[in-house]
A and B are shown apart, each in its own frame.
Chain A
Amino acid sequence: MELTDNELVEKVRAGEDDAFRILVERHSRPIYRSAFRITGNAADADDVVQEAFLRCYRALASFDARATFPTWLNRIAINCALDLIDSRKRREGRIDGGEDLAQLASPDASPDRLLLGSEMQRAIAAAMAELTGNERTAFVLRHFEGMPLEEIGQILGTRLNATKNTVFRAVRKLRQQLQPFTGSLV
């Protein structure tokens, strides 16, 4: 019979590293998907998965099963992604792949075509890249993952009001950046 996550965690705590291998194999893909949505690229998502499992292993002693293992691991991964975005922003000023919005929103481009085409997606990616790590993470969790603001606050370590403000700032920035592309709709 397949062991549950909690049973595997107990085995790892008892020194059975092979049990950790099962946890890694079981949860790598969901973590990768979550990391990809935040970081926006496969290489970073790969790094986040690896880092998340390392942090998870080191912190297993503190896992108290109040949250399920996947939720707990996902929180670790989100924080890893956030750290990665922040450190990259500090180093480079912006996330890789972030394109100049002014270029994307050239007057020659028809808003209708942009809306339906891949350029809109590129514009969204570029607009997302303009967000800070916290704004991007909070927005992804609220907008894509449908996570309640309170839970986002727990992950980011912020109070509810601060979390709300982070999401508000993210939406305002996105709206401002995407306005040129959605002009015909608004």
Chain B
Amino acid sequence: MSHLTQEEFILNYYGELDSRAHLDLCDECRGELTRLAKILDQVKPAEVPEPDAGFEERVWNRVSWRLRGEKHRSRGRRATWMAAAAAMLAIAFLAGVFVTRRDTPGPQIATTTTTTQPNQPVQPAGSTTQQQRDRILLVVVGDHFDDSERVLVELTNLKPDGEIDISTERDRAEELLASNRLYRTTAEERGEENVATLLDELEPVLMQIAHAPSQVSADELRSMQKRVEAKGLVFKLRVVRAGVRSESKLPKQPTI
């Protein structure tokens, strides 16, 4: 007569297998099952401490807080992508104008030349395109500086007291950060040194705000405010923005 395997003893103990017919006849297997049962019977679940009366509310508060955070981040990400897409479109437009004009065939230039009044200085097509591109870039960047200044001013005006909610500034900084990178690269390529330098200084500050938690301590807020003030960013933004605005409106002096 073959005996039960160790696995069969376990299955018998848990009632997943019924070997009573064999066990009734086999003292050895019955003894082994008894030994196994004596050990497993000792393994009782640890007593579960009953949570306090406010348990359910605490769970809900934490769960709802995290769900709100997720929804908020998801909206923020969407807005960031939209901002980045808008910046990309502006840049793509600039690049498009540039490529189209550069590839303009000869006869068109000839037409332009023939319509030019004899006393007017001749303006090369490439130069006009450059001006258009620069002006569009300056308009877009001017708006970007406006928005950035607003975020920085709001942040520096917050009172460092207790836990401070900076979620609005943080989300706005997150949106601006994506565009900032694109504008900086474009400004560098276009040789707009002042604009590129300011965007470069702005980037780490926006990054610090964008990566901060929605609630910050007074010390954390002070550190952010100090950084903004130490760089004199708000002032620089105003100065450069004013220059950018006037430059984008004024017709450029034609070059020969």
- A residues at B contact (CB < 8 Å): 17, 21, 24-25, 28-29, 32-33, 36-37, 40, 42, 46, 49-50, 53-54, 57, 115, 120-121, 124-125, 140, 142-144, 148-149, 164, 167-168, 171-172, 174-175, 178-179, 182, 185-186
Given A53-B59, A186-B38, 19 other A-B contacts at CB below 8 A?
A21-B64, A25-B56, A25-B57, A28-B55, A29-B56, A37-B45, A50-B62, A50-B66, A115-B42, A124-B44, A140-B45, A143-B43, A149-B16, A171-B36, A171-B40, A174-B39, A174-B40, A175-B36, A178-B42
Q: Are B60 and A178 in contact, CB atoms less than 8 angstroms apart?
A: no
Taken together as a complex, chains A and B put the C-alpha atoms of A140 and B44 apart, in Å, by: 10
Contacts of A148 in B (CB 8 A): 16
Which parts of B23-75 form the interface with A (CB within 8 Å)? 35-36, 38-40, 42-46, 48-49, 51, 55-57, 59-60, 62-64, 66-67
- B residues at A contact (CB < 8 Å): 6-7, 10-11, 14, 16, 35-36, 38-40, 42-46, 48-49, 51, 55-57, 59-60, 62-64, 66-67
Q: Are A171 and B10 in contact, CB atoms less than 8 angstroms apart?
A: yes
Q: Which chain A residue has the least Cβ–Cβ distance from B11?
A: A164
Taken together as a complex, chains A and B put the C-alpha atoms of A17 and B39 apart, in Å, by: 48
A37-B45, A54-B66 known; A29 and B39 CB under 8 Å?
Answer: no
Q: Which chain A residue has the least Cβ–Cβ distance from B71?
A: A17
Q: What are 14 A-B pairs with beta-carbon distances under 8 A?
A: A25-B56, A25-B60, A33-B48, A37-B45, A42-B49, A46-B59, A57-B63, A142-B14, A144-B45, A174-B39, A174-B40, A175-B36, A178-B43, A186-B35
Main DSSP-derived SS at the B contact region? helix
Point out the residue from A32, A50, A182 that lies within 8 Å of B38, measured CB to CB.
Answer: A182
Q: Are B46 and A185 in contact, CB atoms less than 8 angstroms apart?
A: no
Contacts of A140 in B (CB 8 A): 45
Q: Are A37 and B46 in contact, CB atoms less than 8 angstroms apart?
A: yes
Taken together as a complex, chains A and B put the C-alpha atoms of A149 and B66 apart, in Å, by: 35
Q: Which chain B residue has the least Cβ–Cβ distance from A33?
A: B48
Taken together as a complex, chains A and B put the C-alpha atoms of A111 and B143 apart, in Å, by: 80
Taken together as a complex, chains A and B put the C-alpha atoms of A62 and B204 apart, in Å, by: 42
A49-B59, A57-B67, A186-B38 known; A168 and B7 CB under 8 Å?
Answer: yes
Q: Are B6 and A120 in contact, CB atoms less than 8 angstroms apart?
A: no
Nearest Cβ distance between residue B150 and chain A, in whole angstroms? 32
Q: Which chain B residue has the least Cβ–Cβ distance from A115?
A: B42
Which of B14, B49, B63, B64 gathers most chain A CB within 10 Å?
A: B63
Nearest Cβ distance between residue A151 and chain B, in whole angstroms? 12
Taken together as a complex, chains A and B put the C-alpha atoms of A142 and B59 apart, in Å, by: 28
A54-B66, A57-B63, A168-B7 known; A182 and B39 CB under 8 Å?
Answer: yes
Contacts of A115 in B (CB 8 A): 42
6 A-B pairs closest in CB distance: A25-B56, A144-B45, A36-B48, A53-B63, A28-B59, A185-B38
Nearest Cβ distance between residue A155 and chain B, in whole angstroms? 16
Taken together as a complex, chains A and B put the C-alpha atoms of A143 and B44 apart, in Å, by: 9
Contacts of A54 in B (CB 8 A): 63, 66-67
